[in-house]
Amino acid sequence: MNNTEKKISILFVIDGLEFGGGERVFLQLAAGLRDGYQLFVAAMPGGSFENELKRLKIQFLPIDISRRISLKPILQIKNIIRNKKIDLVHSQGARADFFARVAGRIARVPHIFCTIAMPVEGFDVGPLRKMIYRFMDWLSERYVACFIVVSDSLKRTLIEGREIPAQRVVRIYNGIELDQYRLDAEHVNLRKEFGIPQDVLLIGAIGRMVWQKGFEYFIESIPAIIKTFPKVRILIVGDGPLRKSLEALSEELRVKDNVIFTGFRSDIKEILSAIDILVIPSLLEGFPMITLEAMAMAKPIVATNIDGITEQITDEKDGILVPPKNSEALARAVIRVLADKESAKALGLAARKKVEQEFSVEKMVAETEKVYLSLLKDK
């Protein structure tokens, strides 16, 4: 781009109600594009997302997105688009999508992009709210120039299920910051914190405790695992509405002495470094970042063979896949990996290589920029 030319201005709009995968991807995009574009991010103020944007020197614009249906954020986003002369709006999240699409339409922004990481059906909300979000989607999706989805299964959902023209849907895989995941990282302090000796096998499961994650099936697999490896310890990392029932299940199955519920943790890299194997027992996913993080750390993974995960892991090559809701199969796979250290190491190294080739942040940013420019040139 010639230095005398006006930089293309991009407005990212996201809920920002908590720091999740969407916020992480937008931070990655902001960091990768900031030198060539004029970037703005609109979201709920406060929290680590805003702080990280300020650290990157990205202009943060607070919007009130606390209510599902409100005119205020639409007017706020519309004014931002007009005042900042925005060329392209890119949103993610049920509320952010609706508000950004309507505001963009009113302000006549040339192009509106929308990232879909999880279908409405997978939202951790009640049936009524799902109906509201789906209606909001239906009402506003006509204004979107391009949908960016994080998996091929989501691409099929939009094209076949929602009848969105294929030329308006592009699949771009999420990426991981490979340089931040060292294979030689120390984990002594974490094991010491939980009183786990260095020679004791440690299994990890990480995620929000909601039905989509299938943690109950993992807990139901633990008695069989303990029969083969009596001293094994299990870290279940995360929090959520099902935590108490999951803790009660571990007591009922008499495995609570082997299981540690850590609650929410921000030191995921340290946890991944400490564990010997990661278990992902999910029932529904978009394209989980925790899989990529464990792959980047060269950890052997046992996961369910559901949409999204099957695009990350090839069974028997860079991980082990089992049917969802099958505690017996999960236990057999975990025992097999723990019993064969050489095979486990090979799975982890193959996973790391796959991440390097297919799931880097640089590749994700480059592919996103290519999609932007393909439409902006027709402006």
Closest of 225, 222, 214 to residue 288, by C-alpha? 214
- Structural domain includes residue 2: no
Q: What local confidence, expressed as pLDDT, does residue 5 receive?
A: 67
Task: Examine the domain organization and report whether 185 and 159 are in the same domain.
Answer: no
Q: What local confidence, expressed as pLDDT, does residue 127 receive?
A: 77
Q: Which domain range does residue 167 map to?
A: 9-175+360-376
Pairing of strands 88-92, 59-62: unpaired
- Structural domain includes residue 246: yes
- Structural domain includes residue 81: yes
- Of residues 66 and 305, more confidence is placed in 305
Average pLDDT over residues 70-88: 95
CA gap 247, 263 in Å, rounded = 11
Task: Examine the domain organization and report whether 127 and 170 are in the same domain.
Answer: yes
Model confidence band, residue 206 (pLDDT cutoffs 50, 70, 90): very high
Query: In this model, does residue 325 exceed pLDDT 80?
Result: yes
Helices 243-252, 215-228: axis angle to 10 degrees equals 30
Average pLDDT over residues 308-336: 97
- Structural domain includes residue 1: no
Closest of 261, 258, 301 to residue 281, by C-alpha? 301
Average pLDDT over residues 162-185: 90
Which residue bears the tokens 């030191």?
267
Which parts of 253-358 fold into alpha helices (H)?
268-274, 289-296, 327-339, 341-358
Q: Report pLDDT digits (tens) over 83-133.
A: 999 999 999 988 899 999 999 999 999 899 999 987 776 666 677 777 877
Task: Examine the domain organization and report whether 267 and 124 are in the same domain.
Answer: no
Q: What local confidence, expressed as pLDDT, does residue 25 receive?
A: 92
DSSP bridge pairs for 38? 9
- Of residues 132 and 318, more confidence is placed in 318
Average pLDDT over residues 190-216: 93
CA gap 227, 96 in Å, rounded = 48
CA gap 112, 6 in Å, rounded = 20
Task: Examine the domain organization and report whether 153 and 276 are in the same domain.
Answer: no
Task: Examine the domain organization and report whether 330 and 244 are in the same domain.
Answer: yes
CB 238 within 8 A of CB 209: yes
Task: Examine the domain organization and report whether 336 and 370 are in the same domain.
Answer: no
Model confidence band, residue 15 (pLDDT cutoffs 50, 70, 90): confident
Name the percent of the chain lying above pLDDT 70.
96
CATH code assigned at 299:
3.40.50.2000
Task: Examine the domain organization and report whether 70 and 114 are in the same domain.
Answer: yes
- Structural domain includes residue 4: no
Model confidence band, residue 242 (pLDDT cutoffs 50, 70, 90): very high
Model confidence band, residue 77 (pLDDT cutoffs 50, 70, 90): very high
Name the helix (H) or strand (E) containing 212: none
The model's pTM is 0.87
Number of domains making up the chain: 2
Helices 94-107, 72-83: axis angle to 10 degrees equals 50
